[in-house]
A and B are shown apart, each in its own frame.
Chain A
Amino acid sequence: MKFKALIITLFASSIFLATIIGIWTIMATLQGLNFTSLNFNFNLLLSFGLTFISIFIGNKFNNLLKIFILSLLFTFLYTFLNENSPLWFTAGIFLLILFFTNKLKKYDLKYLNQDFIFEKIVFEFLSLFAIIFFALVILFPFYIMFVTSLKTQTALLINPLDLSIDFSKNIFEIFKSYFVIFKTYDFGRYILTSSYVSIGTVLITLLFSIPAAYAIARLNFFGKTFLSTSILIIYMFPAIVLVIPLYTVFSQLGLRNSLEGLLIVYTATTLPVAIYMLQGYFRSIPKEIEEAGLIDGQNWFGIIIKIIIPLSLPAIASVSLYVFMIAWNEFLFSLMFLDNPKSFTLSRAINHLTGDAETPRQYLMAGSVVVTLPILLIFVYFEKYLVSGLTTGSVKG
């Protein structure tokens, strides 16, 4: 048991260290350092040795001292045996090894004697791998998006791996593509259009969905069960099957290229989910409060305005954020209905940029950052509400 645990620890941890060193090397390559090989096997061997020593020393020394000395030692070994690399790269390696030996500090021969230690070790390292994997896979594209927007097309064509930012330039030079897209490509206007459409959609959706959701949650009428089941079914129909008839009708009515047309369509497509989410919340409000309101002489309108809305603000917030996100990110309808640059939304404008093969990619990425950043900021700030909206609404997406 102990032997098996020792072997698996050695293998798992050395693969882990070699992987994080590999990722660090890749990141360094993207800063313009010229590495021609990941040296994975070599790193694996080094990590193997490090883990071995760390486990056998165990707790015989002061922990802090052990971690420090081991990391320094192995960083020197690594730099000595490797190609010449700048100081910051070595410092990074040192920090990684420090982090790694710190993780390993609880592993000694005694620890490996526990029950189920084999599974525990595998689980622990799988989690570590998963953290690194998810963080890398998700953040890397966003990183590339941002960094590319600060480069120039020619620099990228000469060396696609050099994504470093030249901090010796002044700030206008660094953020030049942002100034260009706002000046020549009129992105200021598109931001306004997108905000107008998204906020408008949120307001109209709320205006229509709150009364409807209240009726479904509270009132008795003929066809109630039919209506509440059909909401979900209607919600399942995708935009792509609506697009051709809407396009023809909108063309004949002259609603194409008008933001009002877009507003109507966005509202209609988000209404079912908004009603679904709100009626669920309205049902959780105690009926007695409304009855008290009725006795006080309120009519339905007064009850909705004075009782229901103030009590369900959290649900309204999550519906609003969810609808805002859908409207802000929407692409298909804006592609179909807008072909006049004057009425473009941000998504459509970025798509329009790619239509011209001459457009340098840093402008495209700067545009992408401009459309992504607001929604990510809103998400991070209001995460609680948006997550509850997403969980209820995630039947769609």
Chain B
Amino acid sequence: MSTALSKIEKRTAYTLLLPAVCLVFAIILFPIFANVWISFKEVGLKDIRIPEPRAKKIVKNIQNNNSELKIIYKLRNSSLIQDIREVKFSDKFPKNIKPINLDKRCEFKSQKIKCIFGNWEAGYRENFEIIIKDKNNSAINSQKIKSNVPDLNGKSDNILLTTEFTLKNFKNVFFNNNFSELLMTTFYFTFFGTFGAILLGIFAAQLVNQKFYGRSFMRSILLFPYVGPVVALAYTWTLLLDPNSGTINSLLVSYGIIEKPINLLGQKYLIFNFLGFEFKLRLALTTVIFFEIWRYFPLAFLFILARLQAIPKDLYEAADVDGAGPFRKFFYITLPQITAILSILFMIRFIWNFNKFEDIFLLTGGASGTLTLPISVYQQGFAISNIGMGSAVSIVIVLLLISFMIIYFRLIGKRANEI
């Protein structure tokens, strides 16, 4: 009895899970594996369109004879790179209509023209003409003729499915494209973005955890940067920071704080003197990091606030009795209570910032020293149109990601469920 029930239970569970698992498999897991396949191939963006035979049908009247019509099929191979084999063609005609000058590749059977064109090489074009005639010599309705769409099919190789592999992409990724700088930029961006967001999150959470007038309003607006759409926010910041007529530069210039506008998003380095030493600051990267911090500190804030509100009040009361001031309370009670969540938060945010694409893409597009790995995927795949290279960079990202996750689960994975 119980085994029968558990069998039913099992079957139900699999039925309930099936749609979700299938979808996730098709859209998330399959692409990750497909990346491996593509990354070992030399594929460009233009190669991924499967070549197909196409025909455009043009119907022309013949002078002084409305019982005959001339039809021109403009045939072509849609691909300029690949051949199509065994092209077949068919088109249907209304009753009583018959072609008079049929090509020898074709035959007319049960009101249908069927042709076998054989192989079309890349970029093949042909104007294929026939003249049709009504058997009863009455007028042909050319609209009716036109409305039938010819049917074509042929065989061609899908470049993605061939078994030719190459290591060229990986060689290019690691040795030709300044890989170390790419990696360094990504880590700078990720580390400082995460660190800054958490720091700001601690401040914000500590603030909202106090009682003051307008606290719930503050709590709502603190989440605005995360809730608002990236596109709108990134363009607003681009406008704000614009060197020519952006608000911030204009303000700074008009108050005499800087002499001429600084292109915060377009200048790679800012060189300045401090205590006699010359420092080189990655300006655009810093700006992008600040945007990142601005946009994602709300998440850290939410997490930390939830933890702060769970700290037992009697800890603070005991501290009051012992005569501890606000700073001591913060450093000796609050901070130890939130370190666990901070480490988890740091790991998770690190992984997510590592993958951030939209923010940098919209602000700088990866120019002026802000090229990170995710932006590089886009650049290789779609700007340079080398899908294989893009996939190879994706693979690098996936591998790094997996190693982060292993570290994460080793270090704090067991504790993650407690929080």
Q: Are B352 and A252 in contact (CB under 8 A)?
A: no
Interface residues of B in 21-37 (CB under 8 A from A): 21, 23-24, 26-32, 34-35
Q: Which of A29, A336, A391 contacts B306 (CB 8 A)?
A: A391
A312 to chain B, nearest CB (A): 15
Interface residues of A in 347-397 (CB under 8 A from B): 347, 350-351, 354, 361, 364-365, 367-369, 371-372, 375-376, 379-380, 383, 386-387, 390-391, 394-397
Q: Digit string of A125-167 for contact with B (CB within 8 Å is 1, else 0)?
A: 0010011001101110110110010000000110011010000
Q: Which of B237, B246, B405 contacts A236 (CB 8 A)?
A: B405
Query: Once bound together, how far apart are the Cα atoms of A26 and B252, in whole Å?
Result: 10
B72 interfacial contact with A, CB 8 Å: no
B174 to chain A, nearest CB (A): 18
Q: Which of A130, A211, A224 contacts B19 (CB 8 A)?
A: A211
A155 to chain B, nearest CB (A): 10
Q: Are A265 and B9 in contact (CB under 8 A)?
A: no
By secondary structure, the A interface counts as: helix
Known: A30-B247, A371-B232, A383-B220. A237 touches B32 (CB 8 A): yes
Q: Which residues of A contact B189 (CB under 8 A)?
A: none
B285 to chain A, nearest CB (A): 19
A91 interfacial contact with B, CB 8 Å: no
Q: How many A-B residue pairs have CB under 8 A?
A: 287
Known: A138-B221, A267-B23. A300 touches B250 (CB 8 A): no
Q: Which residues of A contact B306 (CB under 8 A)?
A: 391
Q: Are A371 and B231 in contact (CB under 8 A)?
A: yes
Known: A36-B256, A241-B35, A242-B28. A208 touches B20 (CB 8 A): yes
Query: Once bound together, how far apart are the Cα atoms of A325 and B228, in whole Å?
Result: 9
Q: Which residues of A contact B214 (CB under 8 A)?
A: 131
B288 to chain A, nearest CB (A): 15
B158 interfacial contact with A, CB 8 Å: yes
A184 to chain B, nearest CB (A): 19
Stretch from A1-9, A46-54, A72-80, A268-276 forming part of the interface with B:
A268-276
A238 interfacial contact with B, CB 8 Å: yes
Query: Once bound together, how far apart are the Cα atoms of A76 and B178, in whole Å?
Result: 63
Q: Which residues of B contact A239 (CB under 8 A)?
A: 355, 357
A234 interfacial contact with B, CB 8 Å: yes
Known: A161-B247, A241-B31. A390 touches B221 (CB 8 A): no
Q: Which of A215, A245, A380, A395 contacts B13 (CB 8 A)?
A: A215
A115 interfacial contact with B, CB 8 Å: yes
Q: Which residues of B contact A386 (CB under 8 A)?
A: 227
Q: Are A161 and B251 in contact (CB under 8 A)?
A: yes
Q: Which of A148, A211, A269 contacts B17 (CB 8 A)?
A: A211
Q: Which of B27, B223, B232 contacts A265 (CB 8 A)?
A: B27
Q: Which residues of A contact B228 (CB under 8 A)?
A: 142, 329, 372, 375-376
Q: Are A391 and B28 in contact (CB under 8 A)?
A: no
Q: Are A160 and B16 in contact (CB under 8 A)?
A: no
B233 interfacial contact with A, CB 8 Å: yes
Q: Are A244 and B377 in contact (CB under 8 A)?
A: yes
A111 interfacial contact with B, CB 8 Å: no
Q: Are B236 and A241 in contact (CB under 8 A)?
A: no
Q: Are B16 and A269 in contact (CB under 8 A)?
A: no
A111 to chain B, nearest CB (A): 16
A227 interfacial contact with B, CB 8 Å: yes
Q: Are B390 and A244 in contact (CB under 8 A)?
A: yes
Query: Once bound together, how far apart are the Cα atoms of A4 and B246, in whole Å?
Result: 43
A42 interfacial contact with B, CB 8 Å: no
Q: Which residue of A lies closest to B306 (CB)?
A: A391
Q: Which residues of A contact B325 (CB under 8 A)?
A: 115-116, 118-120
Q: Which residues of A contact B326 (CB under 8 A)?
A: 116, 119-120, 122-123
Q: Are B401 and A237 in contact (CB under 8 A)?
A: yes
Q: Which residues of A contact B229 (CB under 8 A)?
A: 328-329, 331, 346-347, 368, 371-372, 375
Q: Are B16 and A397 in contact (CB under 8 A)?
A: no
B316 interfacial contact with A, CB 8 Å: no
Residue in A115, A219, A251, A354 with the greatest tally of chain B CB atoms within 10 Å? A219
Q: Which residues of B contact A246 (CB under 8 A)?
A: 27, 31
Q: Are B212 and A36 in contact (CB under 8 A)?
A: no
Q: Which residues of B contact A387 (CB under 8 A)?
A: 223, 302
Number of interface residues of B (CB under 8 A): 93
Q: Which residues of A contact B20 (CB under 8 A)?
A: 208-209, 211-212, 271, 275
B387 interfacial contact with A, CB 8 Å: yes
Q: Which residue of B lies closest to A212 (CB)?
A: B20
A81 interfacial contact with B, CB 8 Å: no
Q: Which residues of A contact B26 (CB under 8 A)?
A: 268
A37 interfacial contact with B, CB 8 Å: yes
Known: A241-B398, A394-B302. A134 touches B220 (CB 8 A): no
Q: Are A268 and B23 in contact (CB under 8 A)?
A: yes
Q: Are A269 and B28 in contact (CB under 8 A)?
A: yes
Q: Which residues of B contact A36 (CB under 8 A)?
A: 254-256
Q: Are B357 and A240 in contact (CB under 8 A)?
A: yes
Q: Are A141 and B233 in contact (CB under 8 A)?
A: yes
Interface residues of B in 378-397 (CB under 8 A from A): 378, 381-382, 387, 390-391, 394, 397
Q: Which residues of B contact A365 (CB under 8 A)?
A: 235-236, 239
Q: Which of B29, B160, B296 contacts A397 (CB 8 A)?
A: B296
Q: Which residues of B contact A135 (CB under 8 A)?
A: 218, 221
A214 interfacial contact with B, CB 8 Å: yes
Q: Are A212 and B16 in contact (CB under 8 A)?
A: yes
Known: A267-B23, A275-B20. A238 touches B231 (CB 8 A): no
A12 interfacial contact with B, CB 8 Å: no
Q: Are A221 and B227 in contact (CB under 8 A)?
A: no
Query: Once bound together, how far apart are the Cα atoms of A239 and B24, in whole Å?
Result: 13
Q: Are B227 and A325 in contact (CB under 8 A)?
A: yes
Q: Are A244 and B221 in contact (CB under 8 A)?
A: no
Nearest 4 Cβ contacts at the A-B interface: A268-B27, A238-B355, A368-B232, A116-B325
Could you list 20 A-B pairs, sorted by A, with CB under 8 Å? A116-B326, A122-B326, A131-B214, A134-B207, A141-B237, A148-B239, A211-B17, A219-B13, A220-B9, A238-B352, A238-B357, A245-B30, A249-B31, A300-B12, A347-B231, A368-B233, A372-B228, A376-B228, A383-B220, A390-B226
Q: Known contacts A130-B204, A390-B302; can you find 15 more A-B pairs with CB under 8 A? A: A30-B247, A36-B255, A115-B325, A131-B218, A161-B247, A161-B251, A215-B17, A219-B16, A222-B10, A245-B30, A245-B391, A248-B38, A331-B229, A372-B228, A397-B352
